[in-house]
Amino acid sequence: MKKAANLVLFLLMCHMNAWAQADVIQNTVQRSEVEAHLRFLAADELRGRDTGSPELDIAARYIAETFRRYGLQPAPGHENFFQPVRLVVEKPLTQATLSFAGQNFALGSDLLVLGGDSIDLQAPVVYANYALAADLDKADIKGKIVVAKAGTPEENNPQSFFFTSRDKRTMVEERGGLALIELYSSDQIPWSLLVQYLNTERLTLVMPDRDGTPLGGTPLGGTPLGGTPLGGTPLGGTPLGGTPLGG
């Protein structure tokens, strides 16, 4: 009986505590005020608060000033409620051509350039398998355009292509190569879908070793080279990358 009485008393105390908390919330947080915040941030005039847009800056300023009004303090080590994030806008090219061994590759249907400087480059070409460190060490790439298969022997999916491309570009540049062209060949993502997805304006984070110019992973390709030999090695893929190195 004593245990039952204790249980009833405990449940009664829990209910009283819950009522007290509900009372505090109701007296502290006003529904109309919450709805006002939501209506402002979700308003059509903010146009979805797209990343990098002026409307996003307006929303961020609104939230920061609301924090200030509520008496909140910035995180330790910060002077305000903002954390700087460097972004770079990557805009697709409207014109680009690539020619090799009498074949011309057109932008969009055969060729996709996502980054790098605007150049008119003519140089010897060398094929370097996957353009991994071991492949590049076996080839004389100084002053030449390097052509390689995208990805690695272990990874043959589009996602891995872009993860490894940046490292390849760095290695080619360190060894004196002028440009890196990667051959895109994947059944997972058709070329037309890749063009539609990547050939658009987008924002990219500026990494610590980047100065604002997009690096590596520049997909190029869409039309098989049809066994065109490069340095005696037949190619059977689709051109995927063509970012010039070192300006």
pLDDT digits (tens, 9 = 90+) for 150-205: 888 887 777 778 778 888 988 999 999 988 888 888 778 888 888 887 777 777 77
Q: Which helix (H) or strand (E) element contains residue 151? A: none
Q: Position 6: which residue type?
A: N
Q: Which single residue is written with the structure tokens 């010039």?
A: 244
Question: Does position 216 have pLDDT exceeding 50, yes or no?
Answer: no
Which residues contact residue 112 at a Cβ distance below 8 angstroms, ignoring those fewer than 6 apart?
Answer: 194, 195, 198, 199, 219, 220, 221, 222, 240
CA dihedral 178, 184, 185, 188 (to 10 degrees): 150
Longest dimension (CA), the chain: 98
Q: Which helix (H) or strand (E) element contains residue 145? A: strand 145-149
Alpha carbon of residue 206 to chain centroid: 10
The pLDDT of residue 221: 34
DSSP conformation class of 220 = B
pLDDT digits (tens, 9 = 90+) for 40-96: 999 999 999 988 889 999 999 999 999 999 899 999 988 899 988 888 877 777 778
Question: Does position 245 have pLDDT exceeding 50, yes or no?
Answer: no
Question: Does position 236 have pLDDT exceeding 70, yes or no?
Answer: no
Closest-CA residue to 201 (of 52, 92, 111):
92
Beta bridge partners of 183: 149, 239
- For 204, phi and psi rounded to 5 degrees? -135, 140
Share above pLDDT 70 across residues of the chain, in percent, rounded to a whole number: 70
Is 127 buried (19+), middle (13-18) or exposed (0-12) by CB count in 10 A?
buried
Is 90 buried (19+), middle (13-18) or exposed (0-12) by CB count in 10 A?
middle
